[in-house]
Structure 1
């Protein structure tokens, strides 16, 4: 430290760098680093001390900015002070090289900055590699399926290596193709830019294997080892043996980062029912135990099993529960994910989802998948109209991309109907012989009828997006005319290949996107396609594979990702059952992420509060062998902090007449006993301070179709029996619409009926059968409540002012959200629940309804459409929404969570595919 400051800027920069180095070596925090640097140099001048204080203030501002980074919620154990405040250009060669690499590939500055911020947050949670402190940190990073988690991993790896980590081990899936994909990606993204800083112990062609007598190298400072290994017992045993050959002193000298990609697969202990530990889980923990300074980070988009595992395993040792941190990554810019396709229940007036889902009639499944395992070898598939339409559309999309100058890009279709490998080749032969060969012959011969069929399909599909929606997407402002595509169809068809991708496929037959030749292929497969594998340029999916597990279902969504230049083209054919399941999972995912944000806001740690996972009646959270049932608990309170709404109704006059009567009685009692006159709120009517007795009576008699709401009445009554004060007094409102028909309802006059159209299950799926029956028997609205409805009992102008005044809210202030409106209600009204009634006109119809247009070309329909007679729906519909307040002991509806610090027991493991990996001595996929 010089005695004289000289020019202040060089001195300030030097002090700042010195303080950053001290943070990474002492990990005692900014104040401790400041005290240490001042005490080490007692002869400092007043100017120098002032400059040190200025440097400390700058670091504190950076730390505060890091903490406030939105939207990257982090639940942290805070076992160490923040030690990494971001990359320094002269000391972060791996990160800056990776950053430049992303920019050169066309990533925007905003997207790269998001990766930078998120990876800084993650790096800060890793065990500080230079402090000399020994320990084992364990964390979880929650991303989105096909969202580019590898980009986050690469950024974190680069920053970890720049900061002193000497070894990175990536556990890269269960198969060779996934491991090779990860090896190639990390080498291309990180290693090749600074090869002198890396020792790479695996290659694209070879998994980890060291000859006898050869040790892992102990690298000099500034160099890092990289191992990309398959999650396979034989491979992990070899890695464990290699670690054991190092001396204790050598192991202490290599701070190690272990990244477990898709950590909910195979890494979970699935042998707990035998009071034992499954091989892969045990080997991962053994490797961690051998390393005195190690951070284990699991990456996944489906964290259910990981956040429901025990902290302690059956053998008494520490399991892989993320006890140090949980990070929820933001949805990346330009990401084409589940919410774009299925939306969430944001509001009745918002058409957020893209109209890209096509219905496969339930009857088609019998022609495309065997009924059971026993008859799989005798099953012969048939080309159904829905599969033929999907293949036709793939051809048209391929021609459209060629017209856009993208003929040299990968473009693929996915067919996923069954897990049985033997059926895949028969399905391939079917598609080749009855569709591809036939369409090639028709195009070469100029078959007018076939060309007209393709024209009709393209006109129907290309018109599904309005101009306003196209403007929101990365695609041309106008769709191509069929005349523009017609000359390109034959060449497009001739470029199509068919690929079977399953565990029985030969290496030479498998997907290979690494060559310079564009791949235009229809991929047919099963479990290999269900996780991790990226199908580049996926534009069309035919998906009827059923599952009863959250994680398996979400991971099978290979269509998520990025579609730059053709976001208007993706289409997915699926059954009604799968469509409904994905819509439920959108809300599960949002609830889990909201839970992480709330725990972060409250400052709790993973050991203080386990994340809750909501249950869906028809689905399991994950494979039962992954869940130790005695280690889980049903949360003791339901619905607090939640909002619920009725979005589906049967076509039943008796059902709706009963509900209408229940609503009329509620309003009559509310007006008589509330002590307050009804208040006009625009087109709506508010009755404040309603006694709970009227509400309970209504909830007892109001009939529900939505299963998740069935327990509301019992929940409210049990809370009242427990003397829960927040349930004593309610606000009740009837939501109306300007211009709606005016009626009297329960002695309240001037109520206006709402216009709510129903989702058309036959939209773009003109295949009849089971779809027509659904149209006649059920009304599905998708959403009933609007976010702004929750403001019916508060001052909206005051809400706007409040929203604009927030500096660090934990939610976006650019638009209304459930979080923002509910939090404001609680600030103004305290813990008061809100009951909303929605009187819906039976004669409702879409704003753009065209009775001359075919039904299958309209996404929404009048409520009476498709009914055999209007008298089948002779009564108006009464919908209901409820907003429950948050309370300190609350959970949302029907959650389970892990009981922290409990030993684990569990049930039998029955996944044959992973069992074979546990016992395979050669490590083959």
Structure 2
């Protein structure tokens, strides 16, 4: 244990006697603990100042790590599932590898709650894999879903450690299609599982590392309790190539290989494993596990649409590999499971899988049988990220999650000229840009400012170095990602220009006077004021519950100004692509300082690869693959001591796609949780994903290519208008006039429920369809698809009756009955417009006139009970009781002692399938614009566009009850409209996966 670990142990032990803990307690226990440790080995030779430093770091680390919460993983299993991992089996099974790994994680400063959940979830996953001690043949297929950059690697390394303990003797980790990612994964496996391997990349030195420094296995390990060492013949520098397969590799050992999803590599494996078979033996009889990282990328069968006999190369090789073994498990990991559950799911093929290769200089062929598919029929496990994780839901639009969004996103509007996605061919016609077009001649201003932000972020982190020194949470590296194009010439040219720009900045910073406001220091202070002043000062107010970071000390520009010279020193610009051969190798110098990289890249930096100390992201990549776009979010993850340094410069189009994908994932996670509660199966979840309308927007087109139709459904869903156009006065007026006119038609039958605070209109479905056709201010709201779904319901004699409910008891201004045509006055709903410091929300509002309901959540529903309008009192009480009974089982809710708010689904799910509910929220437009008195920019926007703020903004929330059988309709999409850019990008990825 190092100094910080020892002190944290003493702190935790001392605090265990306290009934409550506040900041003052740490000063109170300081003398006691410093006295206890002063004679311990490693402490007695330290000065009093050094012991004080270690204590202060340990306290901050403890305060940052201890509050972290993490929910347990959830799972869906196939019908009739029974685990082999009984209590008796657990007692008999060794725990050498997993206990060593968990102990190692503890020493790296991980929260004990997180370590406990890694232990628990990995055991749950192991219990669903095939039993490696079984004498019966088995083939188990599972999928683990976690958030991007949230620690999936840590989980699958825990599973691998448990699998070795359980008896799996050959494990192949498939790690993306890029060698950079494979090498990174190899190093992580050596550190977390094997315990030995490459220590210094440049010198290629090898030795004990990671878990191996805690306890050694094998011949050099514990003599009294010997544990077989797991071997890896792949290394940081070498995948499974011909020279490797001819080396001393025995299946009598426990082996783990880290391989690319590459046709040449997988072919080598197939040939070697088939040749290793004994005579008269068709298959290997050792327990075999494939762990497929980024399982939605390259592994799936994109040719299965042509029939059972067809498979894409990577998929065919994986299936042939699996069929070489009698006892095998396929375990996929991904953050975007859409493609995995939408993939073609053909049965076993009668055809043999043919592989061509060179043998003694001659062309040879070998045929293999295949397993039918790698579809996760047996189980799907959903991992929850810890509360200190910053992911899509903390940055982009959500409906259910109401945490305040971190203002990290800055909208880029000047990149099209420098990095055009399309080229003019005259007569207002365009074509997609190609790698042969003229690439950028100058950097856009936004990229220059992003580079200045990177320098400021380094200086800010350097200013906190003394406070974080010796903490296991400290990251010494600094990285900026510039993701501008998949075209290599564009990347290389951008690298050159960035190098020239950095030289210019370095010269100015080193030579100008720090107090000269008219030169570089003045310019840098302006950049600080625009991008950093607010977030650095107020970052704690943006952190979600359970996220505490005691290293985020406040700073102003004066605190960091003198560190700019050091900050800009030794920044290395790399173009990470196949042409340059540039690589990101993170190592420390003799003084312990890390690297400073600006990484310019495309596909090689888009999936799985971890960029250490990433702060600034300039991301204007144009792609229609929204699930891939989410995977490109290398900025998601953990940023102890520097989350307020981070910025994402991106386009409006990218924000829209991130928002859409985030909302869809959020909704499907809720479905998963519900299905887990109801003990449903993977097949049920697959069906739900397939029918979710949002899935069509985010799934890789090749998965659906040439498919005539795709099912979709709104049953058992809440659908809301979440975005509005607020800079078009005529549109707002037309929507309000049409709404009042429609309401006027029903004046004689409008009821007012004073108990619930709603005006109610009961009408037939066809009248509701007419209401949905009224003019509106909605952006990205699928009125036509919703209308078509209701029509399909009517064909099945469902949703014949509807109620339009108009909310009358908001917190906004009063609308008189004479203005609305209703029978009484109402108070409008109140939704806040974006403040000046709200980043992308403000930019999109002021510049594009786009309003999302708030900076916390796009949810316009005022209260979950709004959807109890169609229930009787007894039905409402019954629904609430069932909800609280379920919550009482939740240990986390019992700990907090808070009574949970009841979500709308609790009531909506009790509605009958012949009656739907549309709730109208009339939002106070004056408050949206003028919540802050004196906001001159908003006043100017009102005057410029002639906005009448006395008119409300109209929002809909439509509650669809559960409907069985599901009337789900079909989107006809033909070839899915793949354009040249998409087709070319997919071709590039296929080339990367097939390079030998």
Match of residue 458 from structure 2: 398
Cα distance, 1:167 vs. partner? 1.4
Contact kept, 8 Å, 2:916 with 2:960, in 1: the verdict is: yes
The Cα of 1:617 is off from its aligned counterpart by 8.4
Displacement of 1:780 in angstroms is 4.2
Residue in 1 that maps onto 2:529: 459
Indicate the residue corresponding to 1:858 in structure 2.
Answer: none
Greater shift after overlay, 130-139 or 787-796? 787-796
Q: Number of residue pairs matched?
A: 822
Name the CA distance, whole Å, in 1 between partners of 2:110 and 2:574.
30
State the Cα deviation string for residues 87-133 of structure 1 (Å, max 9, x = none). Answer: 65972111111111111101101111221222122112111111212
The alpha-carbon distance between structure 1 residues 312 and 691, as it changes in their structure 2 partners (threshold 3 A), is closer
Q: Which residue of the partner structure matches residue 266 of structure 2? A: 236
Match of 1:366 in 2: 417
Q: Name 2:26's counterpart in structure 1.
A: none
Q: Which residue of 2 aligns with 1:562?
A: 638
After TM superposition, the structure 1 stretch with the greater mean CA deviation from structure 2, 122-131 or 743-752, is 743-752
Counterpart of 1:64? Answer: none
Aligned counterpart, 1:225: 255
Q: Which residue of 1 aligns with 2:66?
A: none
Q: Distance in 1 between matches of 2:909 and 2:744?
A: 27
Aligned mate of 2:886, from 806, 814, 821: 806
SS, match of residue 174 in structure 1: coil
Output the TM-score relative to the length of structure 1: 0.80
Give the direction of change, closer, same or farther, for the CA distance of 1:530–1:103 in structure 2 (3 Å limit).
same
**1:662 and 1:698 in contact (8 A); partners too:** no
Local SS of the residue matching 2:568: helix
Cα pair 2:483 2:618 within 8 Å, conserved: yes
Residue in 2 aligned with 1:352?
404
The correspondence for 1:98, drawn from 87, 92, 101, is 101
1:885 aligned onto 2:961: yes
Query: Following the alignment from structure 1 to structure 2, what is the Cα–Cα distance between the partners of residues 548 and 511?
Result: 27
* Counterpart in the other structure of 1:45: none
Q: TM-score, normalised by structure 2?
A: 0.75
Which stretch has the larger CA shift, 164-173 or 365-374?
A: 365-374
Alpha-carbon distance in structure 1 between the residues aligned to 2:171 and 2:461 = 40
Alignment check: 8 A CA contact 2:304 2:344 kept: no
Match of 1:734 among 795, 807, 825: 807
Q: Is 1:511–2:544 an aligned residue pair? A: no
Shift of 1:484: 0.8
Q: Deviations over 1:658-689 (max 9, x none)?
A: 43244335555666336x543243xx425376
Higher relative contact order (CA 8 A, sep 6+): 1
Supply the distance in 2 between the matched residues of 1:538 and 1:445 (Cα, whole angstroms). 28
Aligned residue for 2:232? 200
In the other structure, the counterpart of 1:13 is none
Match status 1:501 vs 2:581: no
**CA 1:319–1:799 in 2, change beyond 3 Å: closer, same or farther?**
closer
Render the CA deviation track for 1:455-506: whole Å, top value 9, x for unaligned. Answer: 1222333343336515655255653011110111111111322121112232
Superposition pairs of residues 600-749 of structure 1, within 5 angstroms:
600-607=676-683, 610-611=686-687, 612-613=689-690, 621-627=698-704, 629-630=706-707, 633-635=709-711, 637-649=713-725, 651-665=727-741, 667=743, 672-673=748-749, 677-681=752-756, 684-687=757-760, 692=765, 695-703=768-776, 705-711=778-784, 714-715=787-788, 717-719=790-792, 721-722=794-795, 724-730=797-803, 732-738=805-811, 740-744=813-817, 745-749=820-824
Partner of 2:287: 255
Partner of 1:140, secondary structure, is: strand
Offset of 1:894 from its aligned partner? 7.5
**Secondary structure of the structure 1 residue equivalent to 2:144:** strand
Q: Following superposition of structure 1 onto structure 2, how do residues 139-288 of structure 1 map, counting pairs within 5 Å?
A: 139-192=142-195, 193=212, 194-196=216-218, 197=228, 198-209=230-241, 216-219=249-252, 224-244=254-274, 245-247=276-278, 252-272=284-304, 276-288=310-322
Offset of 1:241 from its aligned partner? Answer: 1.9
Distance 2:444 2:487 in 1: 19
The structure-2 alpha-carbon separation of the partners of 1:687 and 1:105, relative to structure 1 and needing over 3 Å to count, comes to same
Change (3 A) 1:172 1:515: farther
Write out per-residue CA displacement over residues 582-637 of structure 1, whole angstroms, 9 at most, x where no aligned residue: 1111112123323333444444433466342467789754443333543x852264
SS in structure 1 opposite 2:907?
helix
Please list the CA deviations of residues 348-405 of structure 1 after superposition, one character each: whole Å capped at 9, or x if unmatched. xx562111110111x4321234645446453233222211211111111111100111
1:60 alignment partner in structure 2: none
Q: What is the DSSP-based 3-state SS (H/G/I as helix, E as strand, rest coil) of the residue aligned with 1:157?
A: helix
Instruction: Report Cα offsets for 1:752-797 as digits up to 9, x if no partner.
Output: 12333444799658999x996524xx44435564455231354799
Q: Which residue of 1 aligns with 2:324?
A: 290
Give SS of 1:748's match.
Answer: coil
* Cα distance, 1:424–1:285 mapped onto 2, change above 3 Å: same
Q: Deviations over 1:703-761 (max 9, x none)?
A: 36334422266236515632534441436131532352342222231201233344479
| Aligned residue number for residue 490 of structure 1 | 565
1:169, 1:141 → 2: CA distance? 16
Note closer, same or farther for the CA distance 1:519–1:177 as it changes in structure 2 (3 Å cut). Answer: same
Separation in 2, partners of 1:622, 1:792: 33
Whether 1:327 aligns to 2:381 is: yes
3-state secondary structure, aligned to 1:138: strand
- Given that 1:145 and 1:554 are in contact with CA atoms closer than 8 Å, whether structure 2 keeps it comes out as yes
Question: Do the aligned partners of 2:864 and 2:903 also contact (CA within 8 Å) in 1?
Answer: no
Distance 1:142 1:471 in 2: 24
- Report which stretch shifted further, 539-548 or 754-763: 754-763
* 1:579 CA drift (Å): 1.0
Question: Cα–Cα, structure 1 residues 767 and 92, in superposed 2: closer, same or farther, change >3 Å?
Answer: closer
**Residue 831 and residue 413 in structure 1: after superposition, are their counterparts in 2 closer, same or farther (change >3 A)?**
farther
How many Å apart are 1:136 and its aligned residue?
A: 1.2
Moved more, 418-427 or 638-647: 638-647
**1:679 & 1:793 partners in 2: Cα distance?**
16
Deviation digits for residues 202-249 of structure 1 (CA, Å, limit 9, x no counterpart)? 222222246677674243xxx631111121112112211222112377
Secondary structure at the aligned position of 2:329 is classed as: strand
Q: Secondary structure at the match of 2:962?
A: coil
Secondary structure at the counterpart of residue 364 of structure 1: coil
Q: 1:415 aligns with which of 460, 482, 490?
A: 482
Deviation at residue 553 of structure 1 after TM alignment:
0.8
Q: Aligned to 1:839, what secondary structure does the other structure show?
A: strand
The 10-residue stretch of structure 1 (873-882 or 389-398) with the greater mean CA deviation from structure 2 = 873-882
Q: Quickly say closer, same or farther: Cα 1:870–1:320, change in 2 above 3 A.
A: same
Instruction: Note if contact 2:435-2:490 (Cα within 8 Å) is conserved in structure 1.
Output: no
The equivalent position to 2:907 in structure 1, one of 819, 824, 846, is 824
Residues 810, 582 of structure 1: CA spacing in aligned structure 2 closer, same or farther, 3 A cutoff? farther
Q: Work out whether residues 831 and 924 of structure 2, in 8 Å CA contact, stay in contact via their aligned partners in 1.
A: yes
Unaligned residue ranges in structure 2 (runs of 5+): 1-69, 196-211, 219-227, 351-369, 423-431, 470-474, 974-981
d(CA) in 1 for partners of 2:148, 2:539: 29
Shift of 1:802: 5.2
C-alpha deviations, 1:169-202, integer Å up to 9, x for none? Answer: 1111112211111111011112214532312222
Aligned residue runs from structure 1 range 547-558, under 5 A: 547-558=623-634
Cα distance in 1, alignment partners of residues 780 and 970 from structure 2: 11
